[in-house]
Amino acid sequence: MEVTASSPGKINLGLWVGALESSGYHPLLTAFQAVDLWDFVTARSDDQMSLEVKGSVDCGLVPHDERNVAWQAARALAKHCGKEEAVALQISKNIPVAGGMAGGSADAAATLLALDALWECGLDDSTLQQLASTLGSDVPFSLHGQAAIGRDRGDALTAVAIEKPLHFVLCPSEGALSTGAVYAEYDRLSPRASVPTAIDPAFLAAWQAGDAEALAPLIHNDLQPAAISLMPELETLATQIEKAGALRAAVSGSGPTMWGLALNAEHAGEIAQALRADGITTWVTQSSLENPRLRLSR
């Protein structure tokens, strides 16, 4: 028997980062938005652990062993449920790799769901979320999907009800940025940073209403200056995206994927067409408004 589960990529419409704490983590306040790009994980019973990765994006940087967070998710679930670490995992990737869109976290979340079904563990949402939080700060949101405010390490989530989707143009970079390197550069640039106690009500209202024009000037990412410091060409790309008509351009998470906000689907298509004419790779997508639980098929 085999089971397939899927999880969406994300962007951070807002990301505020505090100074490094003694715990080794940075406190966060972030506006997580799932987008309609999905990775799929198929799990099949086998006599040993194995992992295969393919997809519509460049997967050259994705490890095929225990370094992969999906492998770690399988190991964590096996230990929790008392199962043998004997499963063949196949990941089909559509989320840009090492792009700040939580593709690895999506794979881990989909693995948890697929193996919970395959092994008939019957874990409740709370237990799955607890397991997810041990695997990485973004994994709980990858289990949650849709839209949420993240606090603490980003793993303490509050769901946000979205009335209307936002539309985006994604521009992945040819290079990659290490999350650790971006945070280290952030620490150098902002050693005494602090985090707001709450998201601006105007930001929240525009986000929920899908009001791109009202939201555009409120978009924020504390990690963007650090990402640009390490990869200066991102600043040029942001200028190109806005010149093509985007209301605002921003780095997703720690980067280097850059996204532009559009008025609607038609406008996003026009922005993408202008960027492609300049030789820039683009994806057009929108907020994912699907059920916050991940899609599961047997």
Residues 96 and 200 in one domain: no
Write out pLDDT tens, residues 29-67: 999 999 999 999 999 999 999 999 998 888 887 889 999
> What is the reported pLDDT for 132?
97
What pLDDT does residue 103 have?
92
Region 231-249 average pLDDT:
97
Assigned token pair, 174: 């040819």
Indicate the residue among 160, 186, 206 that finishes a domain: 160
Domain CATH for 257: 3.30.70.890
Based on the fold, state whether residues 276 and 254 are members of the same structural domain.
yes
Q: How far is CA 155 from the centre of its chain?
A: 12
Q: Are 47 and 73 found together in one domain? A: yes
Give the number of other CB atoms < 10 A from CB of residue 235: 17
Active site residues: 10, 138
Q: Of 130, 160, 190, which marks where a domain is finished? A: 160
Position 100 confidence tier, pLDDT thresholds 50, 70, 90 = confident
pLDDT at 48 (0 to 100): 94
Domain assignment present for residue 293? The answer is: no
pLDDT number for residue 57 = 82
Annotate 272-291 with b (16+ C-beta within 10 A) or e (fewer).
bebbeeeebebbbbbbbbee
Residues 147 and 233 grouped into a single domain: no
Q: Which two tokens stand for residue 275?
A: 């960027």
For residue 46, give the CATH number of its domain.
3.30.230.10
Could you tell me the residue range of the domain that residue 142 belongs to?
2-160
| pLDDT for residue 60 | 82
Out of 160, 180, 196, a domain closes at 160
Do 138 and 252 lie in one domain? The reply is no
The answer to whether residue 297 scores a pLDDT higher than 80 is no
Query: In terms of domains, do 12 and 72 share one?
Result: yes
Task: State the pLDDT at residue 126.
Answer: 94
Per-residue pLDDT, 296:
59
End-to-end Cα, the chain, rounded Å: 8
Total count of domains within the chain: 2
Contacts of 84 (CB under 8 A, 6+ apart): 78
Residue 295 lies in a domain: no
Average pLDDT (180-203) is 96
Beta strands in 60-109 (DSSP E): 87-93
Q: Is residue 271 part of a domain?
A: yes
Q: Map tokens 């949420």 to a residue.
A: 148
**For 103-151, how does the pLDDT look when each residue is reduced to its tens digit (9 = 90+)?**
999 999 999 999 999 999 999 999 999 999 999 999 999 999 999 999 9
Q: What is the pLDDT of residue 133?
A: 95
Mean pLDDT of the chain: 93
Query: Are residue 11 and residue 156 in the same domain, yes or no?
Result: yes
